[in-house]
Structure 1
Amino acid sequence: MNSTPNTSALQGYPRADGRKGIRNIVAVAYLVECAHHVAREIVAQFRPSFDDFAADAREEEPPVHLIGFPGCYPNSYAEQMLERICTHPNVGAVLFVSLGCESMNKHYLADAVRASGRPAAVLTIQEKGGTRSTIQNGLDWVRDARATLAAQEKVPMALDELIVGTICGGSDGTSGITANPAVGRAFDAFIGAGAACIFEETGELVGCEFHMKRRAARPELGDAIVECVQKAARYYTTMGHGSFSVGNADGGLTTQEEKSLGAYSKSGASPIVGIIKPGDVPPTGGLYLLDVVPDGEPRFGFPNISDNAEIGELIACGCHVILFTTGRGSVVGSAISPVIKVCANPATYRNLSGDMDVDAGRILEGRATLDEVGREIVDVTVAVAAGAASKSESLGHQEFILTYKTFEPVGPACLPSGARRVTVAA
C-alpha cells in the first residue's frame, strides 16, 4: 500500500482554531440526567424519519445530535470531555440544557464554545418555566442555529488535517487476522500522507507493551508505553476482571494475550510518536496511543462500560472519523463523528451487511488481500470525510455515553519533541 489516497474531493468546514470539520452538527448537550428528557425532545423534532435515513443520510440542513452527562456532582474529566467535544471541528453550534441545580459549570462551557467562534446558548429548565417552555425555546434556538450553519461554505481540506481513530468491539477469532490488520494497513497509509491516527484500549494491549516499546519514536516514550499498559493490568487485577468477554470466547478467542495481539494489529507498523489521554488532541501527524485507563487508585468498576465510551474519548481527542472493527457484529454508531464498520467475519458480514461498511472477511475466504482491504478502508474513509454517509449514519445511529473518570496530564516524554499538549477551547 504505497499509493497516496485520492483526496481531491475532500473539503471541510473551517473553524476559528484552524481545524476543519467534515460535518457541521448542532449539538444539544444535557448537563445532568434530569435535563435529558427535555434535550432529547428538542433533538427529536429535527431527526429525519427512518425512511429518510434509509434513502440518504446527507441532509440539506445541518444535523442535530444529542450528547450529555448524567451525573450531578462535579468531575473535571467529564467537564473537559464536554468542552472538547463541543469544540470538536465536526460541531458548528451547541445548545446546553440545564436543570439548574447540577454542578456542571454550564456558563464556563458556553463561554468556551463561544470563544471558539461557535454559537452557543444555555437553557435552564428551572428558569424557563419547565418542560414545555424549555423545549419550545430550544426548538427556536436550534432552528436559528441551523439556518446560520447552512450558509457556511466549505473549504479545501488536506489529508494531513484529518484525525482518524480506531476501536474494536465484538471481537472474535477472525478479528486479528482480517479486519484489525487491514485497519493497520490503512493507518500506515494515512500516516504516510501526514494524518494523525489514534489507537487505544490499553486494557486490551496487555502483553504487547514491549512490542510497542520497540516501535516508540524515543526511548523515554517506550518506557512510558510500558508503564501505561502495566497500569491497565494493575487496574484490571484490582477489579478482578479483564477485558475479555463471554462473547469473545464464544467467537473463538482463547486468551487475553490472543485478544491483545489482535487488537494491537490495528495500529499498523508505523512508529508510535506519542501517548495522549482523553481530551488531548494530537499535536502532530503520526501514530498515537490513547491511554483510556484512569490514573490513581482504581475507583471505578470498568475503565469503559461500553464501546461508545471509548468512541467518545476518541472524538474528544479530535477524531473526525472512527474505524470500528468487529467479528461477532456490532451495530452502534456515534454522535458527532461518523463510525465506519469493518467486519472481520464473512458470516457476520452476510448476516449484518446493512450495518457494515467493509467486508474484511473476504481475506479469510481468499477473495481479497490485506492490502486490498486496507486500500478499501482508506477509500471509504476519504469518501465519508468528503460527505458520504457511513452505514451507521444512514441508519440514524447517534449513540453517546459519558461517565466519571480521573486523569493526570501526560508527561513530557509522551509527546514529540517541541510539541505541546493541545488545549483547544479558551
Structure 2
Amino acid sequence: MRPEATLADLQNLALSLALGLLVGLERHRAGKELGMRTFAFTALAGTLAASVEPAYRLAFMLAVLGFTALLVVVNSWQNLRAQESVEITTSVALLLTALNGMLVGHGEIFTPVAATLLMVLLLSWKEELVGWTALVSRDEVHAAIYLGVISFVILPVLPREPVDPWGLFDLRRVWFMVVLISAIGFANYVLLRVYGARGVAYTGFLGGLVNSTATVAEMAVKVGQHPQLERYAFRGVMLAKAAMFLRNGLILGLFAPAALPHGLLPVALMTLVTLVLAARAGDAAGKEPPAVRLASPFSLRSALEFGLLFLILNVVATLGQRHLGAAGFYVVSLLGGMVSSASSAATAANLAAQSRIATDQAAYGTVLASVASALVLVPITRRGARGTGLTRRLVMAIGWMLLAGVVAWAIN
C-alpha cells in the first residue's frame, strides 16, 4: 500500500462503500441472503485491490475476483442443498460490485456509478420486466432484432461515398434514412400499444406518427362497421394528419435545417387547422373509441421496401431537378407523397442537405408531399366508411387544410 493516505483515497473508499451498500440494500429488501454488508465488503475489497502498488495490483485483483467467485459457488451450493433457487442474478451482481470497486480504486467515477445505478435499476424492476416480456409478441421481438441489425450491423459497413459516377446512389445516406424512420416508427408503435386503449386522441396522434394512412384506413373500416363512431373517427383522422405534418416537418428540420423556415408557416398553419377541427369534433359521449390494430411498423421487408422507395424517389427527384428544374422535383414530391410522405420529406431534406436543390424547394416539396398524403385518404375513407358522413367531413377538412397551405405559401 502507499505509505501516505490521501484525500483521494478516502473519497474512493467512501464511494466504493456507498455503491456496495446501495446494491446490498436492494438485495436485502428483495429478501436475498447476500445483503448490505456482503456487497459493501466486496466493493471495498475491489477498491483496496486496485489501490496497491502496481507490482502487486494484478495479483490482488485476481485474488478478490477469485474469492468472490468462490463465495458465489458456496452460496449457490448451499441453496441447492436446501432445495432453494440458485440466485444467479444476485451472484452476478456481487461480481459486478467487485469490478465496480476496482474501477473506483483505479480512479474512475462515472463508469462505476453509472453501472451500479443501472444494475440497481434492473434489479428493482424485476416484476415490471417480467410483466413486460409477457406482453411482447414474437413478431415484435423479431422487429426489434431486425432494427438492431440494420442499425449496428449493416449501416457501419456501407460505403460513405456514392457508388456510381453520377452521384445518384448514396447507399449509406439512404440506409441511414431507413434506420431513422424505422426507429421512429417502432418507438411510436410501442407507445401506440401502451396508450392506444386510453382514447382516440392517443390512437390517432401516435398512429399518425407511425403510419397515418394505415391509421385512417383502420378507423374508416371501424366507422363502416359502427357508424355511431363517426365523430370519434373524424377526430382521430385529424389528429393523425396533424401528427403526419409534424413528423414531416421534423424530418425536414433535422436533415435540412436551413429549409425549415421556408416550410414552417405552411406546416404550422395546416397542423393548426387539423387540431382545431379535431377539437371541434369533440368526444362521442358514452362510446368506446375505435380500437386501431396496426401491424408492427418495422420488419425486414418493410425496411427494404422503404429503402427502395426512398432510393427511387431520390434518383427520380435528382434527375427531375437536373433536366426539368423545380417543376420536375415538385411533380415527383406530389406523386411520392401519395405513396409515402415520410419518404418524400426525407428525399427533399436529403437533396437540400447535399445542395442539389434549393432549401425553399425542399420545403415546398415536403409541403406538397404532405398535402398529397392527405388527398389520398379520400378514396380510402370512401371505401372503408361507405354509407357514412366521414368522407364528406374529410373532404371539407382537406379543403380547409389546402386553404391554410395556400395562404401560408402566399405569405412566404
Bin for the TM-score computed over the shorter chain: under 0.3
TM-score with structure 2 setting the length:
0.21
More strand by share: 1
Please identify which structure carries the higher helix content. 2
TM-score (norm 1): 0.21
Question: Greater RCO between the two (CA within 8 Å, min separation 6)?
Answer: 1
